[in-house]
Chain A
Amino acid sequence: QSDLTQPASVSGSLGQSVTVSCTGTSSDIGGYKYVSWYQQHPGKAPKVLIYDVSYRPSGVSNRFSGSKSGNTASLTISALQPEDEADYYCSSFSIRSSLLVLFGGGTRLTVL
């Protein structure tokens, strides 16, 4: 049972868009702007896609975007490519404990 709730899987066709949700509480996602998203391919370490809710690190495709509404954050991937097939994890700061990060359970994206 993860602290943040994500769908176990989502799928989309090549060229389409998909959105992955991540639901927390007012003590984490809803109350603060420190939401991040990570992509993990099989056998690889995760890498950051989005930080501070909606900012992309340099080098990350602008097909990835993040947003937040209330206690739910979202990652949208547009123009799906085969290489987008991976696991995606959300993460958030929590007021309940400093210097600790909450993770979602992860969402497996299948590109059809």
Chain B
Amino acid sequence: EVQLVQSGPEVKEPGESLKISCQGSGYTFAKFWIAWVRQMPGKGLEWMGIIYPDDSDTRYSPSFQGQVTISADKSISTVYLQWSSLKASDTAYYYCVRPTLNGNSIRYIDSWGQGSLVSVSS
């Protein structure tokens, strides 16, 4: 069974840095793309970016380019999402997801992590 287990809730102040994680199991972790999806309070889903753990090939949605960094450590089957300087507007749930692809075309998301709540407030 595919499982994506994310790190716990975080409470931070504006300007602080943060790195949250997502550990995969139940499949060959390095050979499947993993993406991050943001959901702000009471709002919809937003695609942030995607990484291929085997070679760390990373692509960002234009809206998130330069705002976050996605990385991976395939030796421990973990993908990360990090911020260097948080803003209050980064308050949201963040989901790691595993998409099913056909070539470079994403067909759908077959697995979701449980979500990590990031709260940023002074």
Contacts and interface: CB of A to CB of B under 8 A. Distances in A.
Interface of A: 2, 32, 34, 36, 38, 45-48, 51-52, 57, 89, 91, 93, 97-106
B80 interface: no
A103 B47 contact: yes
A105 B62 CA distance: 18
A104 B106 contact: no
A97 B61 CA distance: 9
Contacts of B109: 36, 38, 46, 48, 91, 101
A91 B106 CA distance: 10
A108 B14 CA distance: 32
B112 A47 contact: yes
Interface residues of B, number: 26
B55 to A, nearest CB: 14
B112 A36 contact: no
A93 B107 contact: yes
Contacts, number: 70
A97 B99 CA distance: 15
A48 B104 CA distance: 20
B44 interface: yes
B45 A103 contact: yes
A46 B44 contact: no
Nearest to A34: B107
Contact of B44 (A93, A98, A105): A105
Contact of B106 (A2, A38, A99, A105): A99
A32 B103 CA distance: 14
23 contacts: A34-B106, A34-B107, A36-B109, A38-B45, A45-B115, A46-B112, A48-B108, A48-B110, A51-B110, A52-B108, A57-B110, A93-B107, A97-B61, A97-B62, A100-B47, A100-B59, A100-B106, A101-B47, A101-B99, A101-B109, A103-B45, A104-B44, A106-B45
